[in-house]
Amino acid sequence: MYKKALKWINASPPRTLLLGFSFIIFLGAVLLRLPLSTVDREPLSFVDALFTATSATCVTGLVLFDTGSHFSTFGHWVILMLIQIGGIGFMTMATLFALILRRRISLKERLILQESLNQGSIEGLVRLVRKVILYALALETVGALLFSARFAIDMPLGQAIYHGVFHSISIFNNAGFDLSGDFSSFSSYSTDLFMNVVSMVLIILGGFGFIVLADLFDLRHKRKFSLHTKVVLTVSGALILIGTLIIFIFEFTNTKSIGGDNFGHKLLVALFQSVTTRSGGVTTVDISEFRQATQFFIIILMFIGASPGSTGGGIKTTTFAVLVGAVLAMIRGKEDVVLFRLRLAQERVYKAVTVTLFCIGIVMLGTMILATTEDASFLKILFEATSAFGTVGLSMGLTGDLTTAGKLTIIFLMFIGRLGPLTLTYALGPKAGRPLYRHAEGKIIIG
């Protein structure tokens, strides 16, 4: 029995990833259950500890308790370590320790890394891991210094450094956990240009993905971007701009959100929400006070999410770009999907459609279950389900009122959202064999 289980785990990299993430979440839940993890020394229930550990490891940010006031310093560090491991990937961390110990990275480990980092081949993976670690630590360090300098104005230096480090790691990894207290997130800094800019830069860089970051830092040597980087930068920029405009217009006269503020403040809040809805998780206003049209638009942004190989979730910007490209190609009567004068293989288009339909199905299933178990409006439930699946962490206030069944559903959605629906399918499904024949071609009317 043991040998069969070991053979099943070792059969494919997706299964190793599945088990690896599961183990880290379970270990995190055990540590968060310790009385040492909470301020009042009262241990969490296992489901609550599992929920928090999953939210941290899957860099989501949905919380049942206020992180700043409920958890002790030990609890904060457990959450922070889970965020760091979940953000850059447990296989990346394992490879880092192997490199420190000067141990050779095996072919199997490279294949798992390839799956973890969503790469097309194993070539240059170890170099990429070094870059991932370097860029992550460098950006988190800069973010910590900037945050600490700002927090030092409002609190003692030691506490400011503590808050600076925590928020830098949390925000760069698009986790959304904060120590502000009373579930207020960054609402006290809604008009603070410095805090808004630093947070947005960290969210955007974390959401670009490490492949794009490597391209950006290596631009002076390469002199040009890859197609992947061009698509990510273009789609991300377009979504941020469109999101800002729509949120700004829809909420311009809403006195419950930004209607009573001056023009500059309205624009800053709209920009921040457009950035954070794509997987950031921190917020400067109460989203439950937004108009329903704005809330539904935020759901769309959360579903699209960040970019491949990043700390964010969703169907990813590149998937969205391929879908838009396919629609435009069909409208123009073209056979090929072309982005930046380069044709995409049909297999990429099929994969984009498959990922999108899988994700829609998972969000629909989670929403239906939550609509059965929770007493809340449909929009609030759909918002919570999409936020969990997109590993965003924004909430309209439903998280704290979830039933046990609701918590387990959200745990499932966060886990699938971080791991990826296709990775889970490959992990649990049988190994595909080589087809022995092809069926005759048939015709069907579409539209």
DSSP string, 303-366: HH-S-TTSS--SS-HHHHHHHHHHHHHHHTT-SS-EETTEEPPHHHHHHHHHHHHHHHHHHHHH
DSSP alpha helix (H) spans, 61-156:
67-70, 73-88, 90-100, 107-116, 125-151
Nearest to 185 by CA among 169, 201, 171: 171
Do the domain assignments include residue 312?
Answer: yes
pLDDT, tens digit only, all 447 positions of the chain:
545 554 544 555 666 777 878 888 999 999 999 999 999 999 999 999 999 999 999 889 899 999 988 999 999 999 999 998 888 765 565 555 555 555 565 555 565 555 555 555 555 666 767 777 888 889 999 999 999 999 999 899 999 999 999 999 999 988 889 888 777 788 888 889 999 999 999 999 988 887 888 888 777 777 788 888 899 999 999 999 999 999 999 999 998 888 888 899 999 999 999 999 988 888 889 898 999 999 999 999 999 998 887 777 889 999 999 999 999 998 988 888 888 888 988 888 988 898 899 999 999 999 999 999 999 999 999 999 999 999 898 999 899 899 999 999 999 999 988 887 666 665 555 555 566 777 777 777 766
Do the domain assignments include residue 384?
Answer: yes
Do the domain assignments include residue 294?
Answer: yes
State which residues form the domain around 370.
14-424
Number of domains, the chain: 1
Do the domain assignments include residue 271?
Answer: yes
Q: What pLDDT is recorded for position 170?
A: 92
CA distances from 198 to 127, 205, 301 (A): 28, 11, 21
List the structure tokens of 85: 């491991």
Q: What pLDDT is recorded for position 8?
A: 45
Do the domain assignments include residue 6?
Answer: no
> How far apart, in whole angstroms, are the C-alpha atoms of residue 31 and residue 26?
9
The answer to whether the CB of 3 falls within 8 A of the CB of 36 is no
Do the domain assignments include residue 442?
Answer: no
- Is pTM, for the whole model, over 0.85? yes
Do the domain assignments include residue 430?
Answer: no
Q: Which residues, 6 or more positions from 216, have their beta carbon under 8 angstroms from its beta carbon?
A: 208, 229
> How far apart, in whole angstroms, are the C-alpha atoms of residue 168 and residue 147?
7
Do the domain assignments include residue 431?
Answer: no
CA end-to-end span of the chain, whole Å? 51
